[in-house]
Structure 1
Amino acid sequence: MTTPAATGGKTAATARGEESRRRVLEAALGVFRTKGYTATTVDDLCAAAGVTKGSFFHHFDSKEAAALAAVAHWNEVTGELFATAPYWKIDDPRARLLAYLDFRAELVRGDLPKFTCLLGTLVQETFASHPALQAACGAGIEAHAQTLAPTIEAAKGKYAPDAEWSAESLARHTQAVLQGGFVLAKAMNDPQAALDAIVHLKRYLEALFPTTHRKRR
């Protein structure tokens, strides 16, 4: 029979274990975005999280396992961020899509690693060497892109009914531009490069979904 004291001790130990795992995952988001996958060591993750190697390997078998868990954690955290973002309150689909880009621009602040994408950072290094990471990052990027597809489909029906492109392909294009903006920001060491990419993407979407139709000559 389990005693109350034993149960309480187990619960406390479980809570401590969950907390140490959470700290590793939170640290991984920053370390991987700063140093990349290859340059990051288990020691780096432990130091950033303030945990021992023993604690790390209690939760993760390897650096790759930690990276995969970090991807899942990133998807959960950012998924909640975007699911509760204010642009969803906008009824008109064109305006909602443009507001999404405004929201993305608002996130471009602070040091480069803080606003760039974990998935894009990891997959650039690991797409050919770590298939599990490639698949996880690809699935995460695709899942986020597809949250935009219904809005794009509605905007297409209202503002560009004769367009031949698909909502899914345009949703992926938005992510291609955003991810490319992050790469340029890193290459130029200037967040403005990412902001400029968003501005041009917004202009492109405004042109794709005209609010007035030009008369044919």
Structure 2
Amino acid sequence: MKLFYANGFHGTTVDAVLEASGVPKGSFYHHFGSKEAFGLAVLDRYMSLQLELLEAASVASSAATADTLERYFDSLCQLFVDSGYRRGCLAGKFSTELAASSTPFRSQLAGSIATWHDTLAALLEQGQRRGDVRDDLSAGDLAHTVLALVQGAFVIALSSRDPAALAALRVSIRSLVELDR
């Protein structure tokens, strides 16, 4: 993942992956078959980690939904800042680089982002049933908006190296989802 974060998909060579991993070229191609297949496997692993972080923030939590989302996005933001703004959202990076030109990446990205959306929507719907998430918008619409806020904040923070967009993300998500008191 580090090489894709640093260089993008096209800027990362198989030789660089082999050197960083110490894996022989034959083993790499035997297991993955191509750089594209490797990239898709990395994307799959990345999205699995995202869902694990979200589940860890929400599992057996009696906290308000906004607090759960805040905990999740705080962990993502902290990882991003700690990396010197180099490791943001790999799905976002691959989307901008590959979705327009690669059907396999576009398809996997669409599926991965849909799963991320559905997981967020389920958490928000649970909060609506519990009475701590606004219900004048559907959980699905709220999840779409939250993901758009996250992607936008990461792009702005990446460009400016300024955590202000990430801090605004926290406030925006809370004000978006919380039931007016």
TM-score in terms of structure 2 length = 0.83
- CA deviations 1:32-84 (Å, max 9, x no partner) are 11111121111121122122322221212211111111112222333323322
The alignment status of 1:205 with 2:176, answered yes or no, reads: yes
Larger Rg: 1
User: Is the contact between residue 149 and residue 171 of structure 1 (CA under 8 Å) also seen in structure 2?
Assistant: yes
In structure 1, what is the Cα distance between the partners aligned to 2:39 and 2:77? 26
**Which of 174, 184, 200 in structure 1 is aligned with 2:146?**
174
In structure 2, what is the Cα distance between the partners aligned to 1:76 and 1:161? 28
The RMSD of aligned alpha carbons is 2.5
Larger mean CA deviation between 90-99 and 44-53 belongs to 90-99
- Segments of 5+ residues of structure 1 without an aligned counterpart are 1-28, 213-217
The alignment status of 1:132 with 2:104, answered yes or no, reads: yes
Match of 1:184, SS?
helix
User: Is the contact between residue 154 and residue 165 of structure 2 (CA under 8 Å) also seen in structure 1?
Assistant: yes
Amino acid of the structure 1 residue aligned with 2:167: D
Amino acid of the structure 2 residue aligned with 1:205: L
Query: Comparing both chains, which one has the higher relative contact order based on Cα–Cα distances under 8 Å and sequence gaps of 6 or more?
Result: 2
Structure 2 vs 1, CA of residues 194 and 138 (structure 1 numbering), >3 Å: closer, same or farther? farther
Aligned residues: 179
In structure 1, what is the Cα distance between the partners aligned to 2:57 and 2:133? 26
- Segments of 5+ residues of structure 2 without an aligned counterpart are none
In structure 2, what is the Cα distance between the partners aligned to 1:129 and 1:80? 29
In structure 2, what is the Cα distance between the partners aligned to 1:103 and 1:65? 29
**Residue in structure 2 matched with residue 81 of structure 1 by the alignment:** 53
User: Is the contact between residue 66 and residue 173 of structure 2 (CA under 8 Å) also seen in structure 1?
Assistant: no
TM-score in terms of structure 1 length = 0.71
Task: Among all aligned residue pairs of Structure 1 and Structure 2, give the percentage whose two residues are the same amino acid.
Answer: 32
